[in-house]
Chain A
Amino acid sequence: MIWDWFIHIHPVAQALIRVLLIVLPILILVPGMIWWERRLLSWMQDRIGPNRVATLTLKNGKKISFWGLLQPIADGVKLFLKEDITPAAADKAIYFIAPALALFPAFALSGTLPWGPIKELTPIADVNIGVLYVMAISSLGVYGVVLAGYSGNNKYSLMGGLRASAQLISYELAMGMSLACMVLATGSLRMTDMVKDQEGPLLGLANVPVVNAIQNWHAFTPFGFISMVIFMVCMVAETNRAPFDLPEAENELIAGYHTEYSSMKFAVFFMGEYAAMFTFAGVLSVVFFGGYHMLPIRWEFLSGTNPQFASLIGFFRGMDYWLAPIWFLTKCVVFLSAFIWLRATLPRLRYDQLMSLGWKSLLPAALANFLVVTTWIFCNQMYGPVAGLGSVLVGALVILGIYRGVKKVYPSPVYEDRTITLVDPAKAAG
């Protein structure tokens, strides 16, 4: 009967409840993400990480540990109680709104994210332009960074802010191009259409015996795989995470664009970064990994061809439908762990390496992928899925040939080979 009440209230009230349904979990997940990052990062660095905070000590001296789950609460309390220092010569109005401007896109990004199959509950707004909305809001994320860097009245934070925003707008291009490939393949900009398109048979092969029971998750298609790799790299760059965290490099730019921010405002930047990580991971899973589906298996198709397993398949279908938010959350956690893994493994990129990666490697790769997707669409619709795959192969070979040809005509600079031979002291003396 809650459902009946929900269906009949005003659409604006329904929209507000949908907003609460995604904003509250993100707010609860951000401390969880902080804890998970610190623990996972420590395990990868061969240490233990914070595990003391939530330990209960009973009367007889025994301790029950809760693995430090309250550590983020302790961090929050510390940040809240720190002294809030405002630089005297800072531009006060901009200094105050910059953290809010950094937090707003992180939460607004989840406006078109479908985290379950029930249309009235998710996404908040199932607009015609869902994927482009993600691009638009992520391009608004530049303002928080630029204004935070400027308002500190400090050359280091200004440089950090400008470099961070240059990084953000460079990687937005490749991100938009890779999302555009997927939009072309799907034919629609709606997020729910993205998920629906990934429910079909793999690569459109509806007649091949085993393959047509697998869902068409875009990460399993050849051009979708390349788009996914490009999108993942751009995602890491957009959220200013290592190895792209030059703007926050502690040993180079003090703390980059949030140098002059202390206590609560710094906590707001921090929270915005983690919320953005979560929503980008959500976008990655919706566009490339089937959204809220449990496994890439087409249950209805299997129940049609194998009626003897109908009850078992029905059980799996029920789990897929009703526990959809849990699968979405699992995928987001997996990608967040991938973010943390990247941070633990890779060294930081230098600024010129970062820019040349974005402009000279990712953007041409995304563009070439775009051309291959267009040939796939054409051949798929005219000649069927197998011809489509063949055209993808031919297109990939053509582009590789062009790349090799260009490299032959304009080779990469060959650095002189300097080898150092150490003089053996015994031989030198004798």
Chain B
Amino acid sequence: MLEGFSLPFPITPQLGVFALLASIAAIASVGVVFFQDAIRSALCLVINFFVLAFLYFSLNAEMLGITQIVVYTGAIMVLFLFVIMLLALGSQKLVKEKLDPKKFIGLGLGVVMAGAVASQIVLPLAKITAIRAPDKFGSPQAIGYTLMSQYVYPFEIASVLLMVGIVGSILLAKRRI
């Protein structure tokens, strides 16, 4: 497989930009797992989500990219930070991570799983570089049209789900019901 090794794709500026964004996202995701302090994990995750939004922009899915910033970075991670700060869970004294056989088992499992998926799914698709989606497929008009016509049932059910989530989280967070 390695003889006459040449890349099946040329090095372009877009590939350079992608490499930069992907490396920041990858390092941030590793930071989420390896920081002991919960606040730093949360901040690494914020960086990860923010860079992912740029990756979505590069995939021409601009509506989803900006929704990623509004929903994930702007709301979900703020909620995480609130809970960490309110419960003072950031301090290392509270949860001391000792050296566990669990860690090595976890790492081994992760590597095995990644190897299995990579060999079966990622490698056979290595030649695909052509974009087959139409150009405006990520625009708000396209998403709005599809969401309101073909996907209107899941849309309404998702709104019911969000309402249930709101009621549930209010009830759970109350001190006295």
Direct A–B touching in the complex (beta carbon < 8 Å)? yes
Residue of B nearest to A140 (CB): B74
Candidates B40, B63, B73, B85; contact of A139 at CB < 8 Å: B73
Q: Is the interface of B mostly helix, strand, loop or mixed?
A: helix
CA distance A142 to B81 in the complex (A): 11
Chain A residues lying within 8 Å of B43, measured Cβ to Cβ, are 94, 147
With a cutoff of 8 Å between Cβ atoms, the chain B residues found around residue A136 in the complex are 66, 69-70, 73-74
Q: Does A313 contact B (CB under 8 A)?
A: no
Q: Return chain A residues, CB-CB under 8 Å to B40.
A: 93
Q: How far is the CA of A72 from the CA of B23 in the complex (A)?
A: 42
CB distance from B120 to the nearest CB of A (A): 37
Indicate whether A274 reaches chain B with its CB closer than 8 angstroms.
no
Fill in one digit per residue for B34-77: 1 if any A CB lies within 8 Å of its CB, else 0. 00000110010010000000000000001100110110011100
Main secondary structure of the interface of A (DSSP, over half): helix
Question: Which chain B residue shows the least CB distance to A176?
Answer: B70
Check B140–A128 contact: CB distance below 8 A.
yes
The residues in A between 133 and 154 inclusive whose CB is less than 8 angstroms from any CB of B are 133, 135-137, 139-140, 142-143, 146-147, 150
A133 close to B66 (CB less than 8 A): yes
Known contacts A91-B39, A150-B85, A165-B82; decide if A129 and B66 are in contact (CB<8 Å): yes
Q: Does A158 contact B (CB under 8 A)?
A: yes
Verify if A127 is at the interface (C-beta below 8 Å from B): yes
> Please, which residues of chain B bring their CB within 8 A of the CB of A91?
39
Q: Are B78 and A169 in contact (CB under 8 A)?
A: yes
Bound CA–CA A247/B73 (angstroms): 22
Of chain A, the residue at the smallest CB distance from B50 is A140
Closest chain A CB from B60 CB (angstroms): 10
Instruction: Report B-chain residues with C-beta under 8 Å of the C-beta of A139.
Output: 69-70, 73-75, 78
Contacting pair A143 B70 (CB below 8 A): no
Please measure, in the bound complex, the distance between the C-alpha atom of A150 and the C-alpha atom of B37, giving whole angstroms.
14
Give complex CA distance A192, B66 in Å. 18
B39: A residues at CB distance < 8 A = 91, 94, 150
List B residues 78-93 near A (Cβ within 8 Å): 78, 81-82, 85-86
| Residue A344 at the chain B interface, CB threshold 8 Å | no
Complex: A57 Cα to B165 Cα, angstroms: 68
Q: In whole angstroms, how far apart are the Cα atoms of A306 and B86 in the complex?
A: 67
The answer to whether A129 and B78 have CB atoms under 8 Å apart is no
Q: Are A146 and B85 in contact (CB under 8 A)?
A: yes
Report A150 CB to chain B, min CB distance, Å.
5
Q: Does B159 contact A (CB under 8 A)?
A: no
A93-B44 Cα distance, complex, nearest whole Å: 13
CB distance from B49 to the nearest CB of A (A): 11
A162 to B75, CA, bound (A): 14
A140 and B85 CA atoms in complex are apart in Å by 18
User: A42–B40 Cα gap in the complex (Å)?
Assistant: 44
CB B171 to nearest CB in A, in angstroms, measures: 17
Give the residue name and chain of the B residue nearest to A168 (CB): B78
B46 contacts across to A, CB distance below 8 A: 143
A142-B78 in contact given A135-B70, A136-B66, A150-B39 (Cβ < 8 Å): yes
Min CB distance, A158 to chain B, in Å? Answer: 7
Interface membership of B146, Cβ < 8 A:
no
A189 at the binding interface (Cβ < 8 Å): yes
> How near does chain B come to A128, taking the closest CB pair, in angstroms?
5
Contact A142-B74, Cβ < 8 Å, known A127-B62, A128-B62, A136-B69: yes
A135 to B75 Cα, complex, angstroms: 12
Residue interface bits B132-149, CB-to-A below 8 A is 1, else 0: 000000011000000000
Docked CA distance A137–B128 (Å): 34
Please report the C-alpha to C-alpha distance between residue A127 and residue B46 in the assembled complex, in whole angstroms: 23
The residue from A133, A135, A165 contacting B78, defined by CB atoms under 8 A apart: A165
List residues of A (161-206) whose CB comes within 8 Å of B's CBs: 162, 165, 169, 172, 189
Given contacts A91-B39, A169-B78, A189-B140, are A132 and B70 in contact (CB under 8 A)? Answer: yes
Q: With A and B bound together, what is the CA distance between A139 and B140 in angstroms?
A: 20
Query: Could you say which residues of chain A place their CB within 8 Å of the CB of B63?
Result: 128-129, 132
Tell me, in angstroms, the Cα distance from A135 to B85 when the chains sit together.
Answer: 25
Q: Which of A128, A129, A143, A158 meets B85, CB within 8 Å? A: A158
Q: How far is the CA of A279 from the CA of B62 in the complex (A)?
A: 22
* A162 x B86 contact (CB < 8 A): yes
Residue of A nearest to B37 (CB): A91
Chain A residue at smallest Cβ distance from B140: A189
Produce 1/0 per residue, A93-134, CB < 8 A to B.
Answer: 110000000000000000000000000000000011100110
**B interface residues with partner A (beta carbon < 8 Å):** 39-40, 43, 46, 62-63, 66-67, 69-70, 73-75, 78, 81-82, 85-86, 139-140
Per CB-CB distance, the 5 closest pairs between chain A and chain B, nearest first, are: A139-B74, A136-B69, A136-B70, A132-B66, A129-B66
Seed contacts A128-B140, A147-B81; 6 additional CB < 8 Å A-B pairs:
A128-B63, A132-B63, A139-B74, A162-B85, A165-B78, A169-B78
